[in-house]
Structure 1
Amino acid sequence: DLDQQLFDNFAVAQDLLRQEPEQAESREHLRKLLKVASGGIIFTTIQKFLPEDGDRLPPLSDRRNIVVIADEAHRSQYDFIDGLARNMRDALPNASFIGFTGTPIEKADRSTPAVFGKYISIYDIQQAVADGATVRIFYEGRLAKLELKESERPHIDPEFEEVTESEEESVREKLKTKWARLEAMVGTEKRIDLVARDIVNHFEQRLEAMDGKGMIVCMSRRICVDLYDAIIKLCPSWQHQDDGKGAIKVIMTGSASDPTNFQPHIRNKLRREAIKKRMKDPSDLMKLVIVRDMWLTGFDAPCLHTMYVDKPMRGHGLMQAIARVNRVFRDKPGGLVVDYLGIADELKKALADYTEGSRSETGIPQEEAVAIMLEKYEVVSAMFHGFDYSKFITGTPTERLTVIPAAMEHILSQEDGKARLLQAVTELSKAFALSVPHNDALRIKDDVGFFQAVRSAIAKNTRIPGKPEEELDLAVRQIVSKAVSSDEGRIQA
């Protein structure tokens, strides 16, 4: 998937490259492409350097003007004894190698700088946020919301390492691993039902505040399927057997030998690509995807704003995953990582490892967003001091409509009221979107709806020259008033 994504991006820019990029379709095709005496832009995976008969791979090209750019250079580049890295260097003995990765590794047994040399350029998460290339990532721990007994709560070993696909497939080995014991506890029916209920409530409240999409990350295919079943039990309208319909899908690989309940979720590459297009389309009704490993790297959907993590992750794997929600999109103020398993410490360590400068602005606790929201709420509320807008919240549709013109007049009568309101409500809306479904956000949601309605009306009826209407007119997302008590923010076992 990543190879195809890179090839597609470069193919668009072939006029600048002055030659047409080519993609190796097989090992034989790769060898043919490398036989040219000069030039050539070739895309391939490292697996295509495997020898046909299992022995050493003979040199495929002696050229000295070959430059190999390895994307995701933190993977598959360290085994020089009998691994893929050895094969590639045997095939291209005189080539120069450049590594490109957002998560370099510097360990005793694996070191990206040791393989590729000193860093040529470093552009970390903090710099990307400062430049506006990505948005900030906020963190919300929901573990405490699952009212489970201490004996029922899963605990992650600090030395716990994620297993590979093949290890999960091996039943005998799986039963012996720490992973299996943790998976059994994480995947209990009671806990899955609790997580499903919390995700549904949380995500629906997120969508009321900010349109977009979410991803749920589970630690096994079994849990992916069971969680899907629990969610559609709560929201039957989200389900549809047709890949082109429905609001939620499971993305995973499998085979005919897998359990019967896995089969509806096992799709070929073509079908997965169709669902991927739906997920990337902001206007498509598909809103949630459940994954285990797939789409955690190389999947870019800017409208994705929430990631629910129910899987042990650490280091570069964790950083790769959470980067799915930090893409810039319209008025999206930030991405939110919701933690059901207690990965906060691992997240802090990962941010420390992969952010060269200050880490304070990257993985921000949701409480800080709530504090900013309340501060901005006070600013906007002060502008409506003495103005009664209660009918907008409790009145009939006709009464609600009559409140807006009066509110506009109230604001426009103030010194620089228009500009101040437009700016203040924009800042409040962004902080509010990041804070939902915190109780403090739910408490003021109707007020925020009113402020947004007034802002929208002023922006439409008093255009500012030189600025597009789309930029000024925030979508007014009226949140239906519900009597939400503090107890409803907790999940009862």
Structure 2
Amino acid sequence: HRSQVNLDQKISVTEDGVKKSFGFAKHLHDSLPNATFVGFTGTPIDATMDVFGEIIDAYTMTESVKDNITVRIVYEGRAAKVLLDNQKLQEIEDYYANVVEEGANEYQVEESKRQMTQMSTILGDPDRIKAVADDFVTHYESRIAEGSTVKGKALFVCSSRDIAFRLHQEIIELRPEWAEIKTHEEGVELTEREQREIKPIERVKMIMTRNKDDEKEMYDALATKEERKELDRQFKNEKSNFKIAIVVDMWLTGFDVPFLDTMYIDKPLQKHSLIQTISRVNRKYEHKNKGLVVDYFGIKRQMNLALSQYSNIDGQNVEEIQQSVVVVKDHLDLLRAIFHKFDDALYFKGSPVEQLNTLNKAAEYVQVTQELEKRFMHLVKSLKAAYDICVGSDQITREEKDRIHFYLAVRSIVFKLTKGEAPDTAQMNERVREMIKEAIESEGVEEIFKLGDDEQNEVDIFDEDYLAKIDKIKLPNTKIKLLQKLLSKAIDDFKQVNKIKGIDFSNKMQKLVTKYNERKESDVLRSEVLEDFTDEIIELYHELRKERESFQEMGIDFEEKAFYDILKALAHKYDFEYPEDKLIHLAQKVKDVVDDKAKYTDWSKRSDIKAELKVDLIILLAENDYPPVDRDEVYKEIFEQAENFKKGR
């Protein structure tokens, strides 16, 4: 702790004379002369090791990434893009070199007026600030457009308050709409609680203290201490319109926003301050693969030095953006090899309808075998992760970006067909989304994108017209996947009503899918094999439909039918006969017993009610001469069915 590094005597000269004093550390050490002092710190400074000695054990950033606690940091250098005079790069290097030669620490650097004045002249050059603002807006918007940032949050670190203010002005001049006060972006839905918590705010804000000497425009643009607390809360809300924070010293340490994945640095930083700053983007969050540090100043060498100070391994922990560029290009080559027999020309040159049909055919192409589909999906997933990092790089050409969008769109279609829960265009580029939207509005487009959206359209998947639409799809593998998805959903829904029969249909479905996936290589492209499999799925589809309505013929309701199936399955399992009419009557009685206990909202969690239910079921089974099979098993099946049904209501 820093309170332990002030061992030296301090001398202060006042009108009253010379005053000598020691810090707390000196008194503590004198009081405990035989004590062993052990220091625990996240980022030790030189003085820490002077007091406590060499590092005994370190938990490195590399280990943290391996333990899945943090994500890797990727470095992207863009200083050369905003320094209009290349000689300025050398001046920055000289600045850092002087700091090292003089043995200065971070605090002395900030006190050095001569050096900082020199840096402020370089960093505060009006043309340079314009260039930084322009490059930042382009880079940030590219990441947003490509879906490369999880929530669109970014931190921009400036070297001074004045430069931060001027940068803010330049950004707003480029994007006036970012100064508009909104609660959230268009298309974002808020819960009632979020509507109360999220305040109207601009997209980009400065997080700095106010000074009474600030010019009026700057003073008015800054927040009070209480207002900054609210800004803190808003930035930490993923749905808030507040996306970009421009800072100087605030929010660089102890400020955790897990979904913050992009930091822009235009400030001389070194040692532990640099480590603490870049660590703002390495927090773990869903769908966040890496954190990106964009450097406008030239901190790369200092970053490597700072990391290696704590661990030789960590010196290599920050990944260069070039590595992501290489991954993207390598994966594009691998994907081109997969599609070398596929004609994708109409996607790049055709009308929206032709483009969409090409995407559908491409999705069909990669679904020919399960092995090919898995390989394609894995390659595109890895491609997207790397592209999210290097999307702003000039090394990725326009042609390569278009091809990336093509593969991502194909993956999204296949993902929809196989997983079902993802929005159709969630992973697609904005331009591709518009193309698909336009194509879907046209007539004559195969309805792959429209089918399966039950929640929005409330479509009855057992409706004959609905099946007829699916039957019109001319792509056999796509049709099979869509039927498979719809049937799987129907079975899952049926499990909510009748667990035991639902499981039975799941097993039948799995056998069909396994048979399809393990078909002989010679049968992969045979149309009659694909047609047979399609017919088998539709047959199982109709069988499920018939089962769903079977309770009506028996004169009982669907929940009573579920208990009937449990009792019948157990009779079959233990090989005993039980009259059909008595079985129906017993199922109705079981439902009465369950309903009596389930009238309490917390019935499934209360042990007393569950015990009563078990006793009542045992008595009921005995009274109706149901053979003495394992009563615990009967109770377990009936309880799970009842709980499942009530939960699904």
TM-score when normalising by structure 2: 0.55
Matches within 5 A, 1:112-191: 112-116=48-52, 121-146=57-82, 148-150=84-86, 155-156=92-93, 157=95, 158-160=97-99, 176-191=113-128
Query: Is 2:155 the partner of 1:215?
Result: yes
State the secondary structure of the residue aligned to 2:238: coil
Quote the offset at 1:230 in angstroms: 0.7
Distance 1:403 1:184, change over 3 A: same
Partner of residue 174 from structure 2, selected from 234, 242, 264: 234
Q: Which amino acid aligns with 2:214?
A: D
| Cα offsets for 1:393-430 (capped at 9, x unmatched) | 44433333322321121001145122112211110000
| Cα distance in 2 between the residues matched to 1:295 and 1:249 | 13
**Is 1:192 aligned to 2:129, yes or no?**
yes
Using CA pairs under 8 Å that are at least 6 residues apart, name the structure with larger relative contact order, 1 or 2: 1
Kindly provide the amino acid, as one letter, of the partner of residue 206 in structure 1.
R
1:259-274 to structure 2, matched below 5 A, reads 259-274=215-230
Contact 1:135 1:333 in 2 (8 A): yes
Deviates more, 1:118-127 or 1:189-198: 118-127
Query: Aligned to 1:216, what secondary structure does the other structure show?
Result: strand
Contact 2:38 2:52 in 1 (8 A): yes
* Corresponding position: 1:374 with 2:329: yes
The match for 2:6 among 79, 89, 113 is 79
What's the Cα RMSD here?
Answer: 3.1
Change (3 A) 1:437 1:85: farther
Return the letter of the residue paired with 2:210.
Answer: G
Within 2, Cα distance between the matches of 1:97 and 1:240?
54
Residues 174-224 of structure 1: CA deviation (Å, up to 9, x unaligned): 8x4311221122101111111111111111112223133211111110000
Match of 1:101 in 2: 41
The more displaced of 185-194 and 278-287 is: 278-287
The equivalent of 1:451 in structure 2 is: 407
Q: Which runs of 5+ in 1 are unaligned?
A: 1-72, 482-493
Structure-2 change in CA distance of 1:389 and 1:194 (3 Å):
same
Contact preservation (8 Å) 2:181, 2:203: no
Normalised to the residue count of structure 1, the TM-score between the two structures is: 0.72
Deviation at 1:473, TM superposition (A): 8.8
> Within 5 Å, which residues of 2 pair with 1:380-399?
380-399=335-354
1:283 is aligned to 239
| SS of match in other structure, 2:74 | strand
Aligned length: 392
* Inter-partner Cα distance in structure 2 for 1:321 and 1:436: 23
Structure 2 unaligned regions, length at least 5: 11-20, 183-198, 433-649
> For 2:379, which of 421, 424, 431 is the aligned residue?
424
Q: 1:145 Cα deviation (Å)?
A: 1.5
Counterpart among 476, 481, 485 of residue 427 in structure 2 = 476
Contact 1:244/1:275 (CA < 8 Å) preserved in 2? no
Structure 1 counterpart of 2:65, one-letter code: V
The CA distance in 2 between the partners of 1:90 and 1:143, in whole Å, is 47
Distance 1:474-1:301 versus aligned 2 partners, 3 A rule: farther
Range with bigger deviation, 85-94 or 122-131? 85-94
Q: Which moved more, 1:451-460 or 1:395-404?
A: 395-404
Q: Which deviates further from its counterpart, 323-332 or 429-438?
A: 323-332
Q: What is the rounded CA distance, in whole Å, between the counterparts of 1:81 and 1:147 in structure 2?
A: 43
User: Given the alignment, which residue of 435, 450, 465 partners 2:390?
Assistant: 435
> Which of the pair is proportionally richer in helix?
2
> The residue matched to 2:269 in structure 1 has which SS?
coil
